[in-house]
């Protein structure tokens, strides 16, 4: 049974330990087969559903899940396959794209803070405040000192959320350059997926090494005990889904959740 629940510990980025983002690691399976992973995911889903129900009823804690990946990494697919275990009444998904004119008039954390979860709820960020230590760095939109200072801002922001009982869990979906090529090619030729492809994606692909360096620094600087990063091998979608489900189960299961006491005396209540 130990192997069944050990992925979170193996994939967590330990504070102070720079992660490896070698392409070969993106295809790791840790001894799991696709069939075994499907069975385990089906078993975990009801547990996640029950934990979310208890989180909502308890109302003392919230969970923020940050999803980051290079283009083609599978964020949308992960949300569709794993987070479907949650009741949408208590789980929101927010996709952060290029900042609007209004958002640019504020500090870069303003637009994300407004969508942090309330206690009792789960919020999923499809991209996030971490875009501001990636794109501005790679495209040289701001001075180096500006984006480097943001690591500290972000750690302070996430610590503040934790101090207010909002647990932060951050997931980086790692794919190899070869797998990104395969997924881009599929988007080009498949009419159902062509809408997901833009010519600008190829320009970003040409910056692969720059983005890998930026992601390595991001994971190193911002994986903390209170708000850890997990590097999920995502070349195999079935392993990705299993690992993300186990991470969610580990964090929700560690919360001291309880159902609130009734506001009446059940012994005196009769339905006639």
Q: Report pLDDT digits (tens) over 76-85.
A: 999 999 999 9
Domains in the chain with CATH codes: 2-255 (3.40.50.300)
pLDDT beyond 60 at 154? yes
Q: Report pLDDT digits (tens) over 35-63.
A: 999 999 999 999 999 999 999 999 999 99
Q: Report pLDDT digits (tens) over 219-258.
A: 999 999 999 999 999 999 999 999 999 999 999 999 999 9
Beta strand 62-69 with 166-174: parallel, antiparallel or unpaired?
parallel
> Cα separation of 237 and 134, whole Å?
24
Strand partners, 122: 63, 91
pLDDT beyond 80 at 1? no
- The closest of 250, 253, 212 to 228, measured between CA atoms, is 250
Contact 265, 248 (CB under 8 A): no
CA distances from residue 117 to 61, 91, 93, 103, 226 in whole angstroms, order as listed: 9, 9, 10, 19, 16
User: Token digits for 151?
Assistant: 């690591």
pLDDT of residue 4: 53
The SS3 call for residue 175 is coil
> Cα separation of 49 and 72, whole Å?
28
């Amino acid at each position: 049974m130990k192997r069944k629940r050990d992925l979170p510990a193996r994939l967590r980025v330990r504070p102070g330990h720079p992660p490896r983002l070698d392409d070969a690691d993106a295809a790791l399976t840790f001894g799991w087969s696709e069939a075994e992973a499907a069975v385990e995911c089906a078993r975990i889903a009801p547990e996640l559903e029950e934990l979310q129900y208890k989180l909502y009823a308890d109302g003392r804690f919230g969970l923020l899940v940050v999803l980051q990946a290079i283009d083609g990494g599978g964020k949308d697919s992960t949300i569709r396959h794993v987070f479907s275990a949650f009741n949408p009444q208590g789980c929101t998904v927010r996709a952060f794209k290029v900042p609007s004119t209004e958002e640019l008039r504020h500090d870069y954390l303003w637009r994300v803070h407004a969508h942090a979860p309330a206690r009792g709820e789960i919020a999923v960020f499809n991209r996030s405040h971490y875009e501001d230590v990636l794109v501005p760095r790679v495209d040289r939109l701001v001075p180096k000192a500006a984006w480097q200072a943001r690591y500290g801002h972000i750690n302070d922001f996430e610590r503040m959320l934790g101090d207010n009982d909002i647990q932060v869990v951050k997931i980086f979906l790692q794919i190899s350059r070869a797998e990104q090529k395969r997924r881009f090619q599929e988007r080009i030729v498949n009419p159902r997926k062509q809408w997901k492809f833009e010519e600008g994606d190829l320009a970003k692909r040409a910056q692969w090494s720059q983005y890998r360096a930026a992601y390595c620094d991001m994971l190193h600087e911002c994986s903390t005990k209170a708000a850890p990063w997990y590097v999920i091998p995502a070349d195999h979608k079935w392993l990705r889904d299993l690992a993300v489900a186990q991470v969610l189960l580990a964090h929700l299961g560690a919360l001291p959740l309880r159902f609130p006491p009734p506001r009446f005396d059940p012994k005196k209540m009769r339905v006639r």
